[in-house]
A and B are shown apart, each in its own frame.
Chain A
Amino acid sequence: MKTKNGSFAVRASVVAVQSALVALAAMSPAQAAEGDDAARRLTQPTNVIEVGAGYVSDDSAKFGEYNGLSNKGIYGIFNFDIRGGGDYGSGDATRWRATGTDLGLETRDIHLEYGQQGKFRIDVNYDELRRERSDTFQTPYLGAGSNLLTLPSNWLKPFVPQVSGSAINFRSLSPTTGLAPSNVGGVVTPPTPAQQATVNNIIATDVPAFQNVDLSTKRKALDAGISYNIGPRWEFKASAKHEKKDGLKPMGAVTSQVSEYATIMPDLIDQTHDQYNASLTYTGESSFFQVAYYGSVFHNDVSSMTWQDVNDPTKTATLSSAPSNSFHQILLTGGYNFSPTTKLVLNGSYGRNTQDDQFVTAGQNAQFPLGLPVSSLDGKVVTTAFSAKLTAKPVKDLNVAAAYKYDNRDNQTPVNTYFFQDANEARAAAASPFNAALGLPANTLGSNINIYANRPYSKKINQFNADADYAVAKGQRIQGGYEYQEIERKCDGSWINCADAPKTRENTLRAEWRANVVENLSGRLAYAYSERRVNYDENAFLALVPMANVVPAGGATVSAYQYLQQTGLTGFGPVAGFPSAPLTGNAAIFSPNNNILPQALYGSRNNINEEVGMRRFNMADRNRNKVRGSVNWDASDRLSLQGGLDYNKDDYDNSVYGLKNAETWALNLEGTYVINADFTAQAFYTYEDIQSQSAGISYAANSNTAFVGQAGNTIVSGGCFATVLAKNSNAKIDPCSNWSTDMRDKVDTFGAGFKYRNLMGGRLEIAGDLVYTHARTDIGVAGGSYANNPFALAAPAPALAPGVPAVIFIPAANTPTATTKTIELRLGGQYAIDKASALRVLYWYQHLKSNDYVYDGMQFGTLTNIIPTNEQPFNYNVHVVGVTYIYSWR
């Protein structure tokens, strides 16, 4: 946007890095020569060809994330911008243009356009974008680039024999942790020679199998469009874009639910996305009308990923990749001016989104004992939207607007029930309590079967806005606004309400003051307050489990859902400790020992209830305060200063658990100084502070177990209870199980730049730009958790000495600060050799240093259950130099 001081200030980095045509756009012409020559220079388009070479000093995937410069070495620079057609003063309206940017890199772009202005225009565009993701990722899997990943034939299951002879354990891949002593029967014991040999063999066989696989994805898009004027009032437009995206991304996947170990692998991406647009527009004197079509067809050439099990390579696991889908939408828009100041604009759209890929069924361990209800989803979502906006100026200096918006995402996907075992998990020996109810022979399904129904979420928004803006005095305006938004959520076909908040209502009031009171000083202050209230349904999770509406076998007289309704409980069960007297009847079945609803009694392998008082923040009661202020001051003819402050605070006061509040504020300062007509400088500083707090409770199951391992191991150290019995009896309501987090991101960004032209007799222009960013992320965690003393073991291990705790409460610790510092420096210069030629030099230095604990868990020897990938936090120092020759002509 233009500032008051001088012409538009294009950021120097753009001048330095992008092609010369951008520099020419920003440059004012060199000292004007006389007469026709000057007129020609101003009125005739300049054609530019730029050729040269650049050099990148280091390999870095992160530096080259989006700019195509990830590899050390020389790269070609080739840009052009060529135009032609009729002369501006002639009757020939033909105009054409061809531009090419970064043609030597995998971020190249070519654009061609041709047309008869006023009649038609054709555009064609080809664009590439390579996204580098990691150059430090390692995997033992072979077959990266295909959707079948295999392990080397000599792969040995990683385990630490002195800890367990059977459980997979990736710590065996590091000698430090693989050969560490272990707790054997209460005694710290070094590994035996045989155990050491096993681990060494695993290290010698498996570690060399880890190979680097560069992860990146590339998009290539071809876009063509035409616009055609049919007479003075009608315009027809159509365009089509075909984009192909392929490459590899890192992806984690659990191989076995039983032992819960995950494999991080190179996920194959091979997709196409076609988008079509067409529109017909009528523009009248006081009205307009448009009918438009948008179509989007997404096709995934990869239907699934299959990988061998690191625990047992004779087995494989398969997951489903994103399904192909399509979306077609018709839009109608019309506007009418009742008067020059009273306008009504209406818009309506109807869209259909469908997906019907055949289900991927390759599974492990007889995953679907009853087969599937359907072979594909037949998914369909119909979105209808309507909006109306009326703007008017009823009296002088007063503007008013009223708007209504309706948006309905109607998910018409059929609901079916799916019976499946979790990954690699055999059916439990015990029978499911629902075999008889389902009409199946007894013992068909095990108690750990998942009997889930899909939940097709629908969402309907009704919104009403009213705004008024009034000039209270010269140069001063106040604005007020009100918004009411109501959202309804549901799942058609679900046996019970599926939405945590079927209805939410939000009222917002806004006020703003804008002033340009003194000629060179303007400011703005705005405040908005919103209040959202919902009717929360803590049992909405039951929509996933239709068996909650069926009486289970085993003595119950009601279904799980009926039990919750009768007792007013949620799936969490009573907020109580171990019962003083044994429970009887349905209470003993559905909330044994006052614990949570047993998952087998509603047909689930996992507990899916939430804690009492947990609120999903997007559907929770919320109070929101927003303040925005800014000041623009032209301190002098040369100096202009801007300052701004944004503040947002969201409070979720009715949420006991979950997100409790979120607060962000940002401070922006900027100054532009015009030293003289040829020399400008600017600097800016932004500080952003993003904080959120949430809460939870790591409850355990109530029990009356009084010791750990053996009688006598009864002491608890720390926490809220002194004995194991007291702690276990109050496991669900232990105040010390409450925890909270305080997450904070603080980022400083500082930038400075300059542009100096008409040096060396008007031939030389230089520009520079520097940006420094310092980001810190801190997660404060309050609370703690209990851990058993690893030496509190069953006999024949020795009992703990008197006074030694069997259970220890470990207070939580904050995460180490994750920090990122970046320096981006760009310098460029352009020297005009003569009227047609110029030489451009660019220098770019970028430094990133980051220190982030999440990478610690990706190293060898850190995690037991997650395969290491050796990914490193991003750190680089890269220099780029480039020299190009620019030839221009008219």
Chain B
Amino acid sequence: MLPVQKIAALGALIGLFLAGAVAAADSPPPPDMAVKNEAAQKALAKDAVCTTCHNESWRVPVLSIYQTRHGNRADPKAPNCQSCHGDSAGHQKDPAGVHPDVVFAVNSKNISSPDDRNGACLGCHKTGLRMHWAGSEHQSRDVSCSNCHTVHIPNDPVLAKATQPEVCYACHKTQRAQTHRISTHPILAGKMACSDCHNPHGSTGPKLLVKNSVNETCYTCHAEKRGPFLWEHGPVVDDCSNCHTPHGSTNAPLLKARVPWLCQECHSGDHGAAINSGANLPNGNVTTINGTQPLANQSPRTQMNARACLNCHVLVHGSNHPAGAKFQR
């Protein structure tokens, strides 16, 4: 299907979607809706304890929360203001003098402890992605839910691929610089976010990875490397990060070191033993014998230039060919 046709098809689907929604809005409410409406109004009335003062004129636009799931008053599980900020009886009596029970604002002198702030969220959000929160790297370093999540605005930046990395870069600045290198994952283009590989809320894997191990995480996009292969390459099945560095590298493709020297960190047999020198590379140092370039190990070695070892040993992640033990088939 041509792209234009695809867009047209999707447009039609969206059109049907919208038509359905409009039709639903126009039809008269069913009898039990009156009951639900009343329940929603009751929930709103509870909010009014706070929104009487913290209204549309408040210096911080807190009412935007009604655009989000937290503000959906038809959902009996959705919180009201006091579910997260506490009953705050003292603040109600003396708004200027006493702060609410739970204060989330990072620039407030009265900001609550991480445990108190987290308790407000974990009361509802204790499972799902947060099953392994207790004792996790972020929790044990007092990173709190509200350090990364913003609930009072229509769209929480950390929940969208395009804007999530900036939230993480507030602390993980080295990774920000790495995403600008010549070999990277599509993070800058907004097609991949940190949460595609990491679960910042805690996980069973190393480095807060989404799966039990580095390899299992990588295989969610790179399943062609999973095998098992007839001829396995030891460091590959051991840990992808033996050779690769996923956030960005100067050595394509996302390698920690350049080939062939990367391979020579483990291989010293056969022609893996030979020295790989930069002699006689164009723009490099020139070594000759009597003016003739020696066609020996240093002029330059075939195994050092272009794709180096990978010119021949291409199936370096493993081969399933019966004659592929040397990763050439």
Contact = CB atoms under 8 A, between A and B. Distances in A.
B5 interface: no
B194 to A, nearest CB: 12
Given A614-B268, A790-B295, A816-B284, A353 B226 contact: yes
B311 A812 contact: no
Central interface residue in B33, B307, B323, by most chain A CB within 10 Å: B323
Interface stretch (B39-47, B82-90, B93-101): B39-47
Interface in B9-40: 10, 13-14, 17-18, 21, 24-25, 29, 33-40
A90 interface: yes
Contact of A658 (B21, B268, B317): B268
B281 A296 contact: no
A383 B284 contact: no
Contacts of B162: 14, 18, 22, 101
A754 to B, nearest CB: 15
Interface in A348-377: 349, 353, 355, 357, 359-361, 363, 367-368, 372, 377
A318 B315 CA distance: 13
A611 B77 contact: no
A874 B273 contact: no
Given A254-B312, A607-B269, A696-B264, A813 B277 contact: yes
A866 interface: yes
Nearest to B318: A322
A618 B239 contact: yes
B49 interface: no
Contacts of B325: 418, 420, 450, 452, 544
A117 B36 contact: no
Contacts, number: 546
B302 interface: yes
A1 interface: yes
B212 interface: yes
A94 B36 CA distance: 12
A523 interface: no
Central interface residue in B25, B230, B242, by most chain A CB within 10 Å: B230
B154 A854 contact: no
Nearest to B13: A112
A355 B227 contact: yes
B306 A25 contact: no
Contact of A39 (B13, B55, B281, B324): B55
A65 B192 CA distance: 14
Interface string B123-142: 00011100110110000111
A91 interface: yes
B60 to A, nearest CB: 8
Contact of A866 (B7, B173, B306): B306
Contacts of A507: none
Interface string A109-128: 01010100110000000110
**Interface residue SS majority, chain A:** strand
A706 B157 CA distance: 74
The range of chain B's interface size is: 35 or more
A281 B131 CA distance: 11
Interface string B194-236: 0000000000100000001100100111011111111110110
B188 interface: yes
Nearest to A44: B67
B116 interface: no
Interface string A85-110: 11011111111101011010011101
Given A129-B186, A363-B323, A688-B174, A347 B204 contact: yes
Contacts of B78: 117-118
A557 interface: no
B174 to A, nearest CB: 4
A98 B292 contact: no
Contact of A253 (B153, B235, B265, B314): B314
Interface stretch (A147-155, A405-413, A578-586): A405-413
B230 to A, nearest CB: 5
Given A325-B226, A343-B134, A275 B296 contact: no
8 contacts: A42-B66, A90-B40, A298-B223, A477-B142, A616-B265, A787-B289, A813-B277, A854-B306
Given A3-B106, A784-B275, 15 more contacts: A22-B160, A42-B67, A117-B75, A290-B131, A335-B131, A357-B320, A361-B322, A407-B213, A457-B234, A609-B269, A642-B173, A697-B273, A741-B264, A808-B294, A857-B305
